[in-house]
């Protein structure tokens, strides 16, 4: 290591560590008896190659062993499939090596793929060697059966099954009829907007699977090119823009002999396959959404059957908010959901519509459901998130405390709790396993680097709307010693809260502050953690609410902190934050004096169906709403400096967003596309 690498600048360190995610343990699986845990982790904070690990708790210490070292399996002739690249892009995966794995129900055997090659390995015995599984071509997202005897994977958009013994050839169960079809892969909408990344699920009996079939032939093509390789032709990318056709998604029960039966629901009314929970031996639970996402249909598939029974038709105006882990069956057979309680303005865990969590506690997700109770993540303050155990009788016990952000995964064998707080930049991982000798706890080592900066965040609630805000000053700044130019760094939109009790998430803001700025972060209307009313406040249009909240919070903070120089205010953000930054200098040049917009969504007609229509409706039904949200008609009014940054190969926020805005910013006589011109692209 050179001297410059020993103590790197923060931007270089952030890049080398992939935003400090390398070396973090993740993807935990816990055996039902609490004896064993499996997870992924790279060898250090700058090592991007993930390997498979297993551990056992002995006398309060987790004894770890590396089950598979990915570097020992890498082959020069391996080829990462395009479908796997797309899956990793949807999951925002930045590592290599083993990036995902699945285990049998006992967590004794795992399957994974490495550069398109599927493998299986034993987890219970030390020294077990990985076995390459037969495959006809590059394999994507392999899943092991609950009994551990077989693995299913996708190759060239077809589903194959193979014995985990490694004997015999892979058998094709489902093959596409055309180039625009696929089996076993999550469709774009599900993976990008509904947090569903799988397209095949083993049933507990291990003799059949639920398999998604996708037909994208009606979806418009967008051409994605790589300017660094001008000799290669652009790639056709089926992208469902707002108001246009979605992929046609169907679900089948597929048996090991290749016979299949379609799961029937009203696909015209409910085009989105939102969730599939297939790990219960009694029944699988499936949920589908209407196109406007205001209605959710929950279906029950009895064990081994393809006959769907409607369990619930849930209507929530303006949309059903999806939460992780639900809907699913409870051990007693009741239906677990997390629903919007609009009377008490919170999201609650319910069993057959009976509330299990109290009013005022905003439930974020269900981590696990066992006969002993349920584990949820929830909060009473949007800046924090805690882990709670909910007894089947409704008793609530907090498993974490303090000003921090906590999450959990687990099951009957115990939990892994990940914790951050407002002071330390490190994430702590604790295994809480219910083994033969009772619950034991031990730390799971994180090998991630700590940032070279040390965030010192002032958290506040300001203004009439009690906006959550954070202020960061240059290290060593003495209040009253100098007025400092301000840089606001919001995300500021739905599904993304930035003002949280997690010091590590402010490392970049602290580095920016150390360059001589006061950095301000504000979570406005639409951001999660404050209940349904706050979330639903952006329905029908983001403007002016999201910008007004940034302005109002800035002015309220200036009254508290006179060192904020409101004569020099900049704003920067990415994606929705990029949209907000550009909107700020276009609509409020009296407040914002410069902006940097990264991958801004400048024209909502160009963004995808599920996200955009959830908030704005269909563009053909409400063109005025889309016109009001578009940045293109505003371009002529730009009077402040605006820097636009965009990746040319972005397949979600297409570079067309920035190119259209750039063209609209040309002086008179240049090409000035408006939102109507952009609409013609769809």
Per-residue tokens: 371: 């006969």
Residue 125's pLDDT is what?
Answer: 84
Q: Using pLDDT thresholds of 50, 70 and 90, give the confidence band for residue 87.
A: confident
The pLDDT of residue 2 is: 42
Number of domains in the chain: 1
pLDDT digits (tens, 9 = 90+) for 292-335: 999 999 999 999 899 999 999 999 999 999 999 999 999 999 99
Residue 330 lies in a domain: no
pLDDT of residue 435 exceeding 90: no
| 228 Cβ neighbours under 8 A, 6+ residues apart | none
pLDDT digits (tens, 9 = 90+) for 258-271: 999 999 999 999 99
Outline where 35-81 has alpha helix (H). Answer: 70-73
pLDDT, position 434: 83
Question: pLDDT per residue over 182-200, tens digit each?
Answer: 999 999 999 999 999 999 9
In a domain, 661, yes or no: yes
DSSP bridge partners of 296: 289, 314
Contact 469, 550 (CB under 8 A): no
Helix ranges (DSSP H) in 346-449: none
The tens digit of pLDDT for each residue in 149-175 reads 999 999 999 999 999 999 999 999 999
Rg (alpha carbons) of the chain, rounded to whole number: 25
* Distance of alpha carbon 605 from alpha carbon 681, whole angstroms: 9
Q: Is residue 546 part of a domain?
A: yes
Residue 353 has, within 13 A of its CA and on its CB side, a CA count of: 4
Query: Is 570 contained in some domain?
Result: yes
Q: Domain containing 572: what range?
A: 457-680
Average pLDDT over residues 358-372: 94
Q: How far is CA 627 from CA 291, 483, 540, in A?
A: 21, 39, 12
111, 144 in Cβ contact below 8 A? yes
Give Cβ neighbours of residue 331 (< 8 Å, ≥ 6 apart).
369, 370, 371, 392
pTM over 0.85: yes
Place of tokens 């400048």: 602
Dihedral of CA 316/319/323/326: which sign?
positive
Percent of the chain with pLDDT over 90: 86
Task: Give the containing element (helix H, strand E) for 635.
Answer: none
Q: How confident is the model at residue 670 (pLDDT cuts 50, 70, 90)?
A: very low
d(CA 104, CA 326): 22
Indicate the DSSP class of residue 650. Answer: -
Q: Please choose, from the candidates 134, 139, 135, the residue with its C-alpha nearest in 3D space to the C-alpha of residue 166.
A: 134
CATH code where residue 475 lies: 3.40.50.1820
* pLDDT at 509 > cutoff 70: yes
Q: Which residue has the tokens 């700025």?
A: 517
Q: Quote the CA–CA distance of 37 and 414 in Å, as a whole number.
A: 10
Provide the pLDDT confidence category of residue 4 given band limits of 50, 70 and 90. Answer: very low
Q: Considering the domain boundaries, does residue 423 fall inside one?
A: no
Evaluate if residue 673 carries a pLDDT over 80. Answer: no
Position of tokens 């089926």?
Answer: 238
* 193 occurs within a structural domain: no
What's the chain's average pLDDT? 93
* 3-class secondary-structure state, position 185: coil
User: What pLDDT score does 95 carry?
Assistant: 79
Contact status, residue 396 vs residue 385, Cβ threshold 8 Å: no
7 has a pLDDT exceeding 70: no
pLDDT band at 79 (very low <50, low <70, confident <90, very high): low
Which pLDDT value is given to residue 94?
76
Asked if residue 677 has pLDDT above 60, the reply is no
Mean pLDDT of 105-129: 94
Work out the average pLDDT over 101-124.
96
The answer to whether position 589 is within a domain reads yes
Residue 574, pLDDT score: 96
* Cβ neighbours for 552, distance < 8 A, ≥ 6 positions apart: 463, 464, 465, 467
User: Does residue 372 lie within any of the structural domains?
Assistant: no
Q: Which two tokens stand for residue 26?
A: 């993740």
At residue 384, does pLDDT exceed 80? Answer: yes
- pLDDT tops 90 at residue 437: no
């Amino acid at each position: 290591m050179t001297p410059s690498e020993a103590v790197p600048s923060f931007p270089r360190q952030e890049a080398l560590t992939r935003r400090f995610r390398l070396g973090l343990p993740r993807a935990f699986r816990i055996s039902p008896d609490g004896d064993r845990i499996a997870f992924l982790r790279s060898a250090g904070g700058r090592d991007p190659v993930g390997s498979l690990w297993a551990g056992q708790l002995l006398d309060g210490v987790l004894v770890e062993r590396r089950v598979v070292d990915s570097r020992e399996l890498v082959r020069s002739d391996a080829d990462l499939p395009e479908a796997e690249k797309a899956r990793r892009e949807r999951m925002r995966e930045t590592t290599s090596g083993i990036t995902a794995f699945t285990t049998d129900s006992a967590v004794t055997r795992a399957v994974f793929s490495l550069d398109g090659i599927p493998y299986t390995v034993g987890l219970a015995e030390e020294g077990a060697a990985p076995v390459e599984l037969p495959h006809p071509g590059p394999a994507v997202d392999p899943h092991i059966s609950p009994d551990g005897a077989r693995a299913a994977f996708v190759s060239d958009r077809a589903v194959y099954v193979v014995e985990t013994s490694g004997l015999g050839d892979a058998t094709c169960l489902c093959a596409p009829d055309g180039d625009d079809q696929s089996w076993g892969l999550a469709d774009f909408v599900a993976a990008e907007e509904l947090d569903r990344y799988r397209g095949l699920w083993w049933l507990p009996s291990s003799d059949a699977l639920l398999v998604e079939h996708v037909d994208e032939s009606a979806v418009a093509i967008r051409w994605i090119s790589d300017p660094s390789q001008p000799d290669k032709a652009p790639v056709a990318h089926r992208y469902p823009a707002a108001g246009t056709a979605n992929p046609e998604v169907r679900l089948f029960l597929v048996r090991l002999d290749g016979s299949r039966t379609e799961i029937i629901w009203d696909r015209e009314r409910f085009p989105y396959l939102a969730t599939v929970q297939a790990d219960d031996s009694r029944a699988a639970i499936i949920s589908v959404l209407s196109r406007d996402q205001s209605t959710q249909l929950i279906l029950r598939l009895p064990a081994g059957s393809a006959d769907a029974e409607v369990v619930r038709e849930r209507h929530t105006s303006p949309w059903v908010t999806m939460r992780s882990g639900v809907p699913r069956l409870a051990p007693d057979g009741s239906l677990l959901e997390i629903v919007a309680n609009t009377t008490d303005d919170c999201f609650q865990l319910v069993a057959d519509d009976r509330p299990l969590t109290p009013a005022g506690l905003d439930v974020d997700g269900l981590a696990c459901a066992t006969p002993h109770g349920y584990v949820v993540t929830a909060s009473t303050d949007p800046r924090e998130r805690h882990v709670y155990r909910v007894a089947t009788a409704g008793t609530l016990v907090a498993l974490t405390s303090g000003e921090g952000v906590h999450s959990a995964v687990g099951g009957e064998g115990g939990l892994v709790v990940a914790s951050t707080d407002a002071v330390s930049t490190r994430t702590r991982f604790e295994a809480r396993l219910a083994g033969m000798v009772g619950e034991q706890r031990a730390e799971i080592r994180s090998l991630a680097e700590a940032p070279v900066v040390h965030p010192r965040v002032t958290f506040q609630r300001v203004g009439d709307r009690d906006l959550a805000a954070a202020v960061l000053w240059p290290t060593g700044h003495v209040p009253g010693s100098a007025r400092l130019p301000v840089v606001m760094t919001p995300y500021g939109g739905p599904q993304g809260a930035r003002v949280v009790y997690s010091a590590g998430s402010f490392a970049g803001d602290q580095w920016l502050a150390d360059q001589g700025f006061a950095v301000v972060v504000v979570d406005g209307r639409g951001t999660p953690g404050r209940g349904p009313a706050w979330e639903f406040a952006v329905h029908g249009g983001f403007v002016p609410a999201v910008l007004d909240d940034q302005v109002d919070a800035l002015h309220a903070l200036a009254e508290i902190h006179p060192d904020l120089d409101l004569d020099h205010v900049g704003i920067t953000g990415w994606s929705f934050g990029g949209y907000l930054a550009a909107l700020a200098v276009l609509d409020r040049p009296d407040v914002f004096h410069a902006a940097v917009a990264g991958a801004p969504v400048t024209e909502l007609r160009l963004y995808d169906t599920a996200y955009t229509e959830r908030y704005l409706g269909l563009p053909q039904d409400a063109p005025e709403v889309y016109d009001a949200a578009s940045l293109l008609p505003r371009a002529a009014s730009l009077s402040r400096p605006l820097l636009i940054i965009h990746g040319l190969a972005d397949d979600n926020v297409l570079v067309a967003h920035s190119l259209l805005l750039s063209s609209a910013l040309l002086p008179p006589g240049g090409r000035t596309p408006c939102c109507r011109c952009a609409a013609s692209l769809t």
